Amino acid sequence: MNDLRNPLVAVPLLFLSVLALMRAGRVRPQLRQLAFPYAVGATALGVFLVMGGQELLGRGWPSLLVVVPALVLLVRAFVLVFETLFRRSQGEAPPALLDSVVAVLLYGIGGGVIAHRWLGFDLTPFLATSAVVGAVVGLALQETLGNLFAGIALHTEAPFRVGDWVRLGDREGKVEQVSWRAMRLRTWLGDTLTIPNNEVARHSLLNFSRPAEPHSRLVTIGVNYQTPPSKVLSVLGHLLDQIPEIVREPVPVLRISGYHDFSIQYEIRYFLNDYEEYRAIEGEIHRLIWYHFRRHGIEIPYPIRNVYLHNADGAESPLEASGNRLLRALRGIDLFRPLSDDELRFAASLFKTLHYAAGEKLIREGDPGDSFCVVDHGEVEVSKELAGKRRTLARLMEGQFFGEMALLTGEPRSASVTAVTDVDVFTIDKGGFHDVLVKNPAIAVDISTILAERQEALSQASGDVTAKFAKAPAEGELRQHILDRIRSYFGI
């Protein structure tokens, strides 16, 4: 012990201990906050030992050069231990406000001890008047202290963290900061909302971001009583498959939630990983509902008054206009060339109009199908999987068509068709075209001839290097093969 009082021994040891602590701070960054107060206190202690030894440490004000850094060092070390224990028990670092409160309390206690022990201040009068002063300060700072203690309670219970989406009353936002006075939220509009901590503590708080499992949302939609519920649930299920942001596990839940005055109410419960995305997802759900319901003849009812106006003479109704566009398009399609004018009008009456949103798939490659489509408005893209990559084959616009082989022979789809823009298409399926063939079975021969000519032209233009090794069927054989498939498929 006497050797440690010798400046020749103590000063080098103090210097080495400062270097060791700075070295430890490089390995463990949390120790860096201890290095500065320790270095200041060690330097002052070394100077005292050199100048006068231990006697200088008891001489009032000069001793503060050692005692104050020692207090700072002890408080920071205590806070560091507190953070470590808190992290081990709670799995995360303590809130910054809690660290600040602990540090202030320790500094207050340490300051009182220093004032009494080293500076000789008598704290008895101060303690005697502290009750009165505390009452006055408490009344004056009632709101501020309420916010402070409410903030401490919020940090201790931790019902939310920075980055969580919460709802407090009728206010909703993302937590950006929680200070000793207030909580700051970023609203959906991008504004900053500041709410005092005591108000947060008085109201119930809903946290949308916890637990960390996929969050669920509900969307309700009303459908008329004439549509079978199984059909509505099936259409809604296919609709959700087209929204990639929806989590596939757990599986979305669809159910009937009740019967209302004008509609059957359906409930869609879907899951998402990031609550912040729900507005975009639900906007997409509502957008696709219109197109899917329109295509499948499902009506969304609401109290409405219909007013019917008689068309003026010579004016063309929208239905007649679409019928004329369809007839004009069919007259330019080889497949319908063998039909007479009456047969063509009859065939046009069997077409339905379907609406698709931009980005929707009208046809998927490899899927079974029996429909033929003519583009009325908009643009579609035809693509095919080639060598492991999706390649665009063509873009079809008004008056162009696709799906003739699936209509006539039931072949699986050879390519995918995707709506580039919002698209209206005229479509006819096997059942509708069967009525056309029943009226005039002879046209099947003409149609098979046309399809044979088209396939022959396509095979010659394809540039397939294997074609020279394969024996091409005679034109008559190909026509007869297609005709047999048409007759077998339609049962005529």
Q: Which tokens belong to 368?
A: 């079974």
In a domain, 36, yes or no: yes
pLDDT value at position 462? 44
Nearest to 182 by CA among 151, 138, 204: 151
Q: Which tokens belong to 27?
A: 């390995």
Residues 180 and 234 in one domain: no
In a domain, 304, yes or no: no
Residues 339 and 485 in one domain: yes
Nearest to 451 by CA among 301, 335, 278: 335
pLDDT value at position 461? 45
In a domain, 59, yes or no: yes
Residues 433 and 329 in one domain: yes
* Rounded distance between C-alpha atoms, residue 424 and residue 322, angstroms: 11
- Show the CA angle centred on residue 366, arms to residues 365 and 367, nearest 5°: 95
pLDDT value at position 137? 46
In a domain, 302, yes or no: no
Residues 192 and 224 in one domain: no
CATH number of the domain that residue 182 is part of: 2.30.30.60
Residues 480 and 347 in one domain: yes
Pairing mode, strands 165-168 and 253-259: unpaired
3-state secondary structure the chain: CHHHHCHHHHHHHHHHHHHHHHHHHHHCHHHHHHHHHHHHHHHHHHHHHHHCHHHHHHCCHHHHHHHHHHHHHHHHHHHHHHHHHHHHHHCCCCCHHHHHHHHHHHHHHHHHHHHHHCCCCCCHHHHHHHHHHHHHHHHHCHHHHHHHHHHHHHHHHCCCCCCCEEEECCEEEEEEEECCCEEEEECCCCCEEEEEHHHHHHCCEEECCCCCCCEEEEEEEEECCCCCHHHHHHHHHHHHCCCCCCCCCCCCEEEEEEECCCCEEEEEEEEECCHHHHHHHHHHHHHHHHHHHHHCCCCCCCCCCCCCCCCCCCCCCHHHHHHHHHHHHHHCCHHHCCCCHHHHHHHHHCCEEEEECCCCEEECCCCCCCCEEEEEECCEEEEEEECCEEEEEEEECCCCEECHHHHHHCCCCCCEEEECCCEEEEEECHHHHHHHHHHCCCHHHHHHHHHHHHHHHHHHHCCCCCHHHCCCCCHHHHHHHHHHHHHHHHCC
Beta bridge partners of 184: 177, 194
CB distance 355 to 291 below 8 Å: yes
The residue among 207, 240, 268 that closes a domain is: 207
Residues 203 and 224 in one domain: no
Q: Report CA Rg, the chain.
A: 41
In a domain, 308, yes or no: no
Residues 14 and 94 in one domain: yes
Residues counted in the chain: 492
Please enumerate, as own/partner, the contacts of 147-153 that have beta carbons within 8 Å and a separation of 24 or more: 147/180, 147/181, 147/182, 147/196, 147/197, 147/198, 148/180, 148/181, 148/197, 150/196, 150/197, 150/198, 150/200, 150/201, 151/97, 151/178, 151/179, 151/180, 151/181, 151/197, 152/97, 152/98, 152/101, 153/201
Residues 114 and 85 in one domain: yes
In a domain, 149, yes or no: no
End-to-end Cα separation, the chain, in angstroms: 115
CATH number of the domain that residue 355 is part of: 2.60.120.10
In a domain, 231, yes or no: yes
Cα distances (Å, whole numbers) of residue 125 to 122, 275, 398, 446: 7, 57, 95, 116
The residue among 171, 191, 207 that closes a domain is: 207
- Give 309-323 pLDDT, tens digit per residue: 655 554 555 555 778
Neighbours of 73 (CB within 10 A): 21
- Give 42-97 pLDDT, tens digit per residue: 777 666 666 665 555 555 566 777 777 777 778 777 777 777 776 776 566 666 66
CATH number of the domain that residue 273 is part of: 3.30.70.100
* Rounded distance between C-alpha atoms, residue 492 and residue 486, angstroms: 8
Q: Which tokens belong to 257?
A: 């939630």
In a domain, 147, yes or no: no
Residues 384 and 427 in one domain: yes
Residues 234 and 265 in one domain: yes
Residues 272 and 332 in one domain: no
Q: Is residue 144 left, alpha or beta, with left meaning phi > 0 and alpha meaning psi from -120 to 50? A: alpha
Residues 363 and 480 in one domain: yes
pLDDT tens digits in sequence order for the chain, 492 residues long: 555 555 666 666 766 776 777 777 777 777 777 777 777 777 776 666 666 655 555 555 667 777 777 777 787 777 777 777 767 765 666 666 666 767 777 777 777 776 666 666 666 666 555 554 555 444 444 555 555 556 666 665 667 778 888 888 778 888 887 776 778 888 888 888 888 877 777 777 888 877 777 888 999 999 988 888 889 999 999 999 889 889 888 899 999 999 988 889 999 999 998 888 889 999 999 999 999 998 888 988 876 555 656 555 545 555 557 788 888 888 888 778 888 888 888 888 889 989 888 888 898 888 888 888 999 989 999 998 888 888 888 899 888 888 888 888 888 888 899 999 889 999 988 888 888 888 878 788 878 787 777 666 555 544 443 333 334 455 567 778 877 888 787 777
Q: Which tokens belong to 413?
A: 């789809």
Domain count, the chain: 4
Phi, psi of 215 (to 5 degrees): -85, 145
Which range of residues forms the domain containing residue 284?
215-295
Burial classification of residue 285, based on how many CB atoms lie within 10 Å of its CB (0-12 exposed, 13-18 middle, 19 or more buried): buried
